[in-house]
Structure 1
Amino acid sequence: MKLSDSTVSRLDETQRLRFERCLNKFKDVLQSANIDLDALRNLNWLGIPNELPSELRSITWQLLLEYLPCNADRQVKTLARKRQEYFEGVSQAYARGIAGLDQTIWHQIHIDVPRTNPGTILYQCETTQQCLERVLYVWAIRHPASGYVQGINDLVTPFFQVFLSFYIENYDTSCLPKNVLDVIEADSFWCLSKLLDGIQDNYTFAQPGIQRQINKLKDLINRINAPLAAHLQKEGVEYLQFAFRWMNCLLMREMSLKHTIRMWDTYLAERSDGFSVFHLYVCVAFLDKWSDELKTRDFQGIMMFLQSLPTAKWKEQDIELLLSEAYRLKSLYHEAPNHLSRV
């Protein structure tokens, strides 16, 4: 792995040396016969710069999700076995074609997939949509306690895009051979499964995990920003009305996919609770950020603002500040029962 010629050509000498040092730190960890996950988490928490080779994030995410073994000798065989297991699952599920699928599950997935990232050409491509449909359908039938729930379609896209970038930079799936697309699809399935294993009660009946997260969000805002909490209460705003989507889709509807991928670098570095506990504190920091604006609005204005937040022009620095504030809040309030007894 090295910086691409096109990347080097647009960097000055100071920038080039900085990114090369960063890349070398990752390589020092990844080239070990037994990869030190703690060291990898420490590097990944700060994010993988876009200037580094695309395959770096793909490999790192698979390791941090414990899909790819830390032992280098086991990696090739494990990936081959897991990919084959997925292919066999697809063959079994689709043995009688579309007509043989559970029509209720498949119909909802078939409706939702074209709505996923509608402004992005990659996700309007038929080949991509078929890959995502298979991933979501096979996951749903393997997890009958929850089945398919709207929102899960969003969660597969960062994996698909990151793993696709291992092979191509322009995200044109039409130029990829089928065997490569199959690998991307299988890896996306297993990594989505790993993520959802940690937050599955977000998607079981009545979605109790999300209900708990929303209650914790409300409690935290009461503690850290009482004036905002009081204003929301006065205007009759229920947290469920806006925060359900934040928890169900992990803020993906509020952020660009590029920024979601940067956030997930940190979430994956937060061990098993990145997509639950740390995400909660990201939502707290996110709501608190808009406090001054929200306190000037009535119920209708608050809801309209929260449903269309002005994040379209956010830069990576805005994401870094959000993650840093979430880390600060988590350090202060999480596992501090005397300070915040209900969280």
Structure 2
Amino acid sequence: MRPLKDAQLGAFTFFASALPHDVCGSNGLPLTPNSIKILGRFQILKTITHPRLCQYVDISRGKHERLIVVTEHYESSLSDFQKQGKTVSPEKVLQVAYEVLEGLEFMNKHGLVHRALNAHNVLMDCKGNVKLAKFGFYHMTDHGADVDFPIGYPSYLAPEVIAQGSFHPTDPSHDEAPPPSGPKADVWSLGVLLFELCAGRRLLHNIEISERLKFILTLGDDILPENVQELLRKCLTFLPSKRPTPAELLGDPVFSGISCQYTPFQKPVSLFSSSLRCAHLELPDDISDLCKDEDEDYLSERAIDEVYHLWCLAGGDLEKELTNKEIIQSKPPICTLSNFVMEDGESFGQGRDRSFLLDDTTVTLSLCQLRNRLKDVAGEAYYPLLEDEQSSLPQSNSSNELSATVTLPLIIRERDTEYQLIRIILFDRLLKGYPYKKNLVWKEARVDIPPLVRGLAWAALQVEIHQGVDIPRCHQYDELLSSPQGHIKFRRVLKAWVVSHPDLVYWQGLDSLCAPFLYLNFNNEALAYACMSAFIPKYLYNFFLKDNSHVIQEYLTVFSQMIAFHDPELSNHLNEIGFIPDLYAIPWFLTMFTHVFPLHKIFHLWDTLLLGNSSFPFCIGVAILQQLRDRLLANGFNECILLFSDLPEIDIERCVRESINLFCWTPKSATYRQHAQPPKTTADNGFGKTATYYSSDYQDMPKTDLVRHCPFIRRYFSHIPPWICSACVKSITRLPLLCVFPFSPSLLNTVFLHRTVHSYSRGHISGSINVAFNTAFGPDGELVQCPATGVLQNYRGRVIVVISHAMKSAAMFAAHLVKVNFPRVCILDGGINKLKPTGLLTVPSPQI
């Protein structure tokens, strides 16, 4: 959106038509309220940006089908000339006509018709340029079908519009709706408007159209120049077939003298467009003009939607503003009783509440409270440096306060006006520098993502798009997604995905995956499709095969291993009662938790999910279980089933925090899946440095019930980068995770399981211990007290890698450790033989 500049924020309200409560649609479901239909159609209006149109910002839905629209607003309008009773010069008339036609032509290219053109809706900015207001009213109300009042003002309506009469879908006297108005209807309204400017007064309502035309021509012969007369004659042509369109009028010779003063409108370049975003950047002749004065209004340089978002955070309340201006009037219930008629015809009660009729007054939203809230924000905060130089800047008091805000819970940070201002500006600059600033986008996203820019930030994090994208045109609790426009967009994006992935099929839950991307990119279906297409291969590779049973089973097996790895006590209990992940976790992972959590929680969850690799969802699943840990441990199978049928409230911020901790403790190769997306040559692990992967010695997962008890880790045949600490090298498990959060020697230890002391003495990892199975565990699987198990107890809570010549023996030993509640136990896949070529084995070493 364009900057606020000298504009203001305005709001107006109206009511959608109420539907009967006892009527259902053909599918047996309640009808979609008209207010939700309007809300869905409104969204496209936010994307229509032109210098001659007032920018739409937001729409909110209230009680009793009330809708409040927020838009760019100016106090001055053409009605000011009428109030003064002054005539306007012919030059000004032509200027107004040309600028109005520019706005109308741009609307027509987007399939829109104004239909409500009048002097009040032609606003003027501080430079006297035209800004058309309420141009989307006709579109958002489905040509007036969703409201109880006509769209347009009778004295400005074209003859063919008046001839159609009023229409309402519930009116039984009308069999079908009249055709919607076309662009030529606005040309007539413009002609009436221009005549009023010339005459200096409004036309009388009771003058017939034919008499009005005669009056115009008679008046024109006396005082109007020939070019203005010709323009009025063309605009006020009675027959629509002979009346020109706005595009035709713009090319008329009558504007030959002023058209050269206007430059063609250049549509702003989007983030993922192939066009250069700086192609039309112009610098002033005197570079000092860029310097800001001390009293510079920095807030007015921000986009209109940013200012409105901050206004809401600073305590702005639309209904309160309209109530203060008496646009919204509250009445006690006794004064709103319905009118009823007695048998003798006498009526009682209230007549129709006129507050439900249209009041097109636009109320200016005061920004004083917002400006007062931001008065201590330093000017340099509006123009942050993106490199290391910013660290040397002097810190203001507001900067110190913001640094303390970072430590607060996310929900508080997202409602903090000053903090969101800084974060929005920073992300805005980083995204404008995409893809060259992608690394900094990742860095800042690990702190948090401002809700206002989340859609573009997500796209920048996961979608490798450096050129324009397109798609084939082939959560229903949310008002936007449940609107008819939401349904249409859902179908288009999902059909595009199915058509473009012929090897995959539609599974239930795909719409839930699409919901977050469509919500954030409601007016950019191509970007929503691109984000979804990049998301699915990373986190749900081959999940949507026609036969995905082998993929799902492998995924659930790895999840079982993760539960046992991080919480063996909970894993043992769930296994004992038979409450396995197959019973509850499939909807979690098939929809990446969108079937479990509402959208506002998914946004916070995916902010972090997109920074991790394909193993991060396992950590989220374990974190959810740990929040329910006490209830799960205390209940049996039936109670657990009931618990998950209506999942209790989950603290999503705690879930994210614990997921990151679990992710940091999980060895990279422990979550290996044969059916996962093949690794790229270079990949970012999401929480730190970039790791390069080479050929590995992964083997298929062993086909045994023991695999659910603990994960297998693998070693990589590759060069070990110098930034891996020596303790990680000695662990023989090439773990990219450790590249980010290096384990100290006290955190990672290796346990060797050998049948004989002789085999241990032939080679082992320095610092490891040798434990014989029969000396560590008794006949009932209990841990026997001995020196070796004493050492094991000291290692409880640290990562323990079990290595043996025989994989079955290693699996049994690890499973027994899990049974006695040892966390973070894993097995080296391939055993000791995989270490012999590495040169990491030590001979000899003391035996325990």
Name the TM-score, length of structure 2 as normaliser: 0.31
Matches within 5 A, 1:151-162: 151-162=509-520
Larger radius of gyration: 2
Matches within 5 A, 1:244-255: 244-255=586-597
Counterparts in 2 of 1:263 and 1:46: CA distance versus 1, 3 Å = farther
Q: Distance in 2 between matches of 1:132 and 1:334?
A: 38
Matches within 5 A, 1:152-301: 152-164=510-522, 181=523, 184-198=524-538, 199-204=540-545, 205-270=547-612, 273=613, 276-301=614-639
| Partner of residue 739, structure 2 | none
Q: Distance in 2 between matches of 1:27 and 1:225?
A: 41
| Partner of residue 312, structure 2 | 7
> What's the CA shift for 1:34?
4.5
Q: Distance in 2 between matches of 1:121 and 1:8?
A: 21
The answer to whether structure 1 residue 21 and structure 2 residue 422 are counterparts is yes
> What's the CA shift for 1:45?
2.7
Q: Distance in 2 between matches of 1:191 and 1:33?
A: 16
The answer to whether structure 1 residue 118 and structure 2 residue 476 are counterparts is yes
Q: How many residues align?
A: 273
8 Å CA contact retained: 2:463, 2:530: no
User: Which sits farther off after the overlay, 29-38 or 193-202?
Assistant: 29-38
For 1:300, the aligned partner's letter is N
Counterparts in 2 of 1:214 and 1:124: CA distance versus 1, 3 Å = same
> What's the CA shift for 1:42?
2.0
Counterparts in 2 of 1:16 and 1:126: CA distance versus 1, 3 Å = closer
Counterparts in 2 of 1:230 and 1:119: CA distance versus 1, 3 Å = same
The answer to whether structure 1 residue 340 and structure 2 residue 826 are counterparts is yes
Counterparts in 2 of 1:123 and 1:31: CA distance versus 1, 3 Å = closer
Aligned partner of residue 480 in structure 2, secondary structure: helix
| Partner of residue 35, structure 1 | 436
The answer to whether structure 1 residue 63 and structure 2 residue 444 are counterparts is no
Q: Distance in 1 between matches of 2:435 and 2:600?
A: 30
For 1:26, the aligned partner's letter is F
Q: Distance in 2 between matches of 1:303 and 1:334?
A: 31
More strand by share: 2
8 Å CA contact retained: 1:64, 1:268: yes
Q: Distance in 2 between matches of 1:131 and 1:327?
A: 34
Measured against aligned partners, the alpha-carbon deviations of 1:109-143 in whole angstroms (never above 9, x if no partner) come to xxxxxxxx232222322221121112112211222
For 1:138, the aligned partner's letter is A
- Aligned-residue Cα RMSD (Å) equals 2.4
For 1:340, the aligned partner's letter is C
8 Å CA contact retained: 1:219, 1:342: no
Aligned partner of residue 119 in structure 1, secondary structure: coil
For 1:38, the aligned partner's letter is N
Q: What runs of 5+ residues in structure 1 fail to find an aligned partner?
A: 70-77, 95-116, 165-180
Aligned partner of residue 595 in structure 2, secondary structure: coil
Counterparts in 2 of 1:126 and 1:148: CA distance versus 1, 3 Å = same
Aligned partner of residue 521 in structure 2, secondary structure: helix
Counterparts in 2 of 1:155 and 1:34: CA distance versus 1, 3 Å = closer
8 Å CA contact retained: 2:517, 2:532: yes
8 Å CA contact retained: 1:46, 1:266: no
Aligned partner of residue 305 in structure 1, secondary structure: helix
Q: Distance in 1 between matches of 2:544 and 2:521?
A: 25
More helix by share: 1
Give identity over the alignment, percent. 20
Aligned partner of residue 253 in structure 1, secondary structure: coil
8 Å CA contact retained: 2:620, 2:655: yes
Q: Distance in 1 between matches of 2:423 and 2:560?
A: 39
Measured against aligned partners, the alpha-carbon deviations of 1:283-335 in whole angstroms (never above 9, x if no partner) come to 11111221101111111110110221112xx5xxx322211211111111132
Q: What runs of 5+ residues in structure 2 fail to find an aligned partner?
A: 1-301, 316-369, 375-400, 402-415, 671-712, 714-800, 802-824, 830-848
Counterparts in 2 of 1:310 and 1:59: CA distance versus 1, 3 Å = same
